[in-house]
Amino acid sequence: MIAPLSFETLTLEQKIAQMFVIRASGHLFDSQIRYPAWEPQRKTLKRWISELGIGGVLLIDGSAVELHLRTQQLQEWAEIPLLLCADIEEGVGQRFAGATWFPPPMALSEIASRDWTRAIEYAEQMGAITAREALATGLNWILAPVVDVNNNPDNPVINVRSIGQTPEVVSALATAFLRGTQRFPVLATAKHFPGHGDTSVDSHWELPTIAHDLDRLTQVELPPFEAAIEAGVDAVMSAHLRVPAWDAEQPATMSKRILTEQLRGKLGFEGLVVTDALVMGAIANRYDANEAPILAIEAGNDIVLMPSDPEGGIRAVCDAVRSGRISIDRIHQSLDRIRQAKLKVFSEPPSSTLPLSDLDRIATPDAIHLSESILRDSSCSQGASLPTVTSGRNVVIVDDWLRCSYLGHHTPAIALPKQHGYTPYLIDLNGDRQPPETGTGEPTILQIFVRGNPFGSSRSIAVLGEAWLNKLLKTGDLEAVAIYGSPYTYQNLSQNLPSQLPTVFSFGQMPQAQTVTLGILFGQTAVNWSSLKPLA
């Protein structure tokens, strides 16, 4: 154990700073920072950690190898070891190149509809591999699983990030995932309390409302959180949404009625309560940057995540304590929970030099095989395999080619059809998007990359994909369809497809998903299921 890991000798400012987790780039150099409004430069970041005593850092971008170095750098700057976290709902590779990137969690629920035992096994293995690779890169806090019940197909922010569409499935798969993470000394997080699944508004932009009564909340939204708490989840993340059944005025993140009375009191949760990012529009557009952390702590949050102004927020909370608005006992309650969390993940002080052999635990054959198995076993397909052609078109539709990290000239969605005679024809929302009025006479593969995503434009992509699909059907050029990401778009578009038309749906969008999907279309990938049915 780290001894004594005591916060008693800290100044008030340092105590409050332990409750703040800020965002930083996973890249090592300032010139690589992609979001300067949210990611401080090295000099500022070092001062926040070494002088202010910030308690943790959320990391994003870079490679697994960079992260391995970056986390050591950050820990070296800290007097008290840091909680280092990331939104790695789909594995470490979702955010950091080179590590294992799993398909979205909802793929597990599709497998559960076919083989319950296999889905549970996959979920537990996914949790274990995510935890193993997190530790290998220096992360100690996994901001997953998402236990929101995504029962609204129009949900733009949760969608396939959810592990399922019913409370029973979400509860079972989420607790299996947690069993996997608990094999390792990392923290895991159930999010977003009390349930963000039945919304059609993205809280990154606006404040959604869950208008259900208490009976509905008890039957649908709460059971997965109750199951996660029973399974020993370390942290619960609050949702930026209004729940009038409990609090008609404040969103959950700012509501003592929801976080203290319901989550702490009714559900008996004793671990860390962490806000969702306070820079999100649902909060930032409604609250002063320095008032928001005060309200969050008053509501019952132990961790203030990504405040708009970390230094100003720390000063504001200190002033609130000195004025008596927030009691020092309330601060000490959170510090006790933070201390216990840090004791769990640090059996000894973090080393300033993690061995390179740690990288041997990343993207191992078992991890790659698991990801491929989940992709393959959650796929849906119909029709025969495609022939090699002399001249064909490969129409690929995405939202923005300039920001598309999973596609390039070398990735399977482009390279594999080219090997079979299909020339790439690239479409996004920024260019000439509409299909031509007349056909070309060339056999055409249509690939549509679409998923519900924060800040995304999934509805526009779905509309554009449908326009191309209908035109190609009308001209007779359509040879095959591949849809990546959104099961809801697949369900909608598949209603208009001839049953004999070769069609494959994949929950994943990354290169591995492209390989599996196109392997099915071209008859090169074996599928475990004798008859893949459409999503229920």
pLDDT in tens, 4-49: 477 889 999 999 999 999 999 999 999 999 999 999 999 999 999 9
Q: Provide the pLDDT confidence category of residue 441 given band limits of 50, 70 and 90.
A: confident
Q: Is the pLDDT of residue 377 over 80?
A: yes
What is the residue range of 92's domain? 19-52+63-348
**Predicted local confidence at residue 255, as pLDDT:** 98
Query: Is 204 an active-site residue?
Result: yes
Strands 56-60, 83-86: pairing is parallel
Q: How confident is the model at residue 455 (pLDDT cuts 50, 70, 90)?
A: low
- Tens of pLDDT, residue by residue over 299-355, are 999 999 999 999 999 999 999 999 999 999 999 999 999 999 999 999 776 665 667
Is 276 an annotated catalytic residue? yes
Span 363-377, mean pLDDT?
Answer: 97
For range 429-449, the mean pLDDT: 85
361 lies in some domain: no
> 202, 276, 302, 477: which is the annotated catalytic residue?
276
The pLDDT, as a whole number, for residue 529 is 36
CA-to-CA separations, 324 to 17, 125, 255, 316, 401, in angstroms, rounded: 18, 48, 19, 12, 53
Residues 302 and 428 in one domain: no
Model pLDDT, residue 453: 62
Give the domain-ending residue among 298, 332, 348: 348
> Please, which pLDDT band fits residue 271 given cuts at 50, 70 and 90?
very high
Catalytic residue among 68, 204, 428, 477: 204
Do the domain assignments include residue 190?
yes
The answer on 214 and 84 residing in a single domain is yes
Q: Are residues 389 and 263 in the same domain?
A: no
Among 348, 368, 395, residue at a domain's last position: 348
What integer pLDDT is reported at residue 349 of this predicted model?
67
Q: What is the DSSP string of 414-445?
A: HHHHHHTTEEEEEE-TTS--SPPSS--SS-EE
Q: What is the pLDDT confidence band of residue 201, given thresholds at 50, 70 and 90? A: confident
Q: Does position 532 have pLDDT exceeding 60, yes or no? A: no
One domain, residues 313 and 394: no
The pLDDT assigned to 1 comes to: 35
pLDDT of the residue at 437 = 76
- Do 315 and 446 reside in the same domain of the chain? no
Query: Does residue 170 have a pLDDT over 90?
Result: yes
Rg (CA), the chain: 24
DSSP character at residue 374: H
Q: Does residue 478 form part of some domain?
A: yes
Residue 209 lies in a domain: yes
Q: Output the average pLDDT for the chain.
A: 92
Q: Which of 328, 348, 368 is the last residue of a domain?
A: 348
Q: Is the predicted pLDDT of residue 2 greater than 90, yes or no?
A: no
Query: Which whole number is the average pLDDT over 258-262?
Result: 98
| Share of residues in the chain with pLDDT > 70 (%) | 94
**Is the predicted pLDDT of residue 526 greater than 80, yes or no?**
no
| Residue 336 and residue 391 share a domain | no
Neighbours of 160 (CB within 10 A): 26
Q: Do 387 and 511 belong to one domain?
A: yes
More confident residue, 383 or 77: 77
If you average pLDDT over residues 204-230, what whole number do you get? 94
Task: Please state the separation of Cα 445 from the chain's center in Å.
Answer: 30
Average pLDDT over residues 135-160: 93
Q: Could you tell me if residue 8 is inside a domain? A: no
Are 116 and 216 part of one and the same domain? yes
Whether residue 68 is found in the same domain as residue 204 = yes
pLDDT tens string 409-427: 899 999 999 998 999 999 9
Q: Residue 534 pLDDT > 60, yes or no?
A: no
Quick: pLDDT tens for 51-86: 999 999 999 999 999 999 999 999 999 999 999 999
pLDDT of residue 525: 61
Percent of the chain with pLDDT over 90: 79
Rounded to whole angstroms, the Cα distance separating 52 from 55 reads 9
Q: Are residues 303 and 387 in the same domain?
A: no
Secondary structure percentages of the chain, helix, strand, coil, to 5: 40, 15, 45
Q: Tell me, what CATH number does 192's domain have?
A: 3.20.20.300
Note whether 397 and 278 are same-domain residues. no
- Residue 145 domain flag: yes
If pLDDT is split at 50, 70 and 90, which confidence band does 391 have?
confident
pLDDT (mean) for 139-157: 93
Q: Does 372 map to a domain?
A: no
Separation between Cα atoms, residue 229 and residue 175, nearest integer Å:
9
Q: Please indicate, yes or no, whether residues 391 and 344 belong to a single structural domain of this protein.
A: no
pLDDT in tens, 458-510: 788 889 999 999 999 999 999 999 999 999 999 999 888 998 999 999 999 99
| 134 occurs within a structural domain | yes
- How far is 525 from 536, CA to CA, in rounded Å? 24
The CATH number given to whatever domain includes residue 408 is: 3.40.50.10870
Is pLDDT above 80 for 120? yes
DSSP H stretches of helix in 184-259: 214-216, 223-230, 256
> What is the residue whose two structure tokens read 């569409």?
165
Q: Is the pTM of this model over 0.85?
A: yes
Sign of torsion, CA 283 288 290 295?
negative
Q: Residue 132: its pLDDT value, please?
A: 97
The residue among 208 and 517 whose pLDDT is bigger is 517
How much is the pLDDT for 457?
60
What's the domain count of the chain?
Answer: 2
The residue type of 221 is E
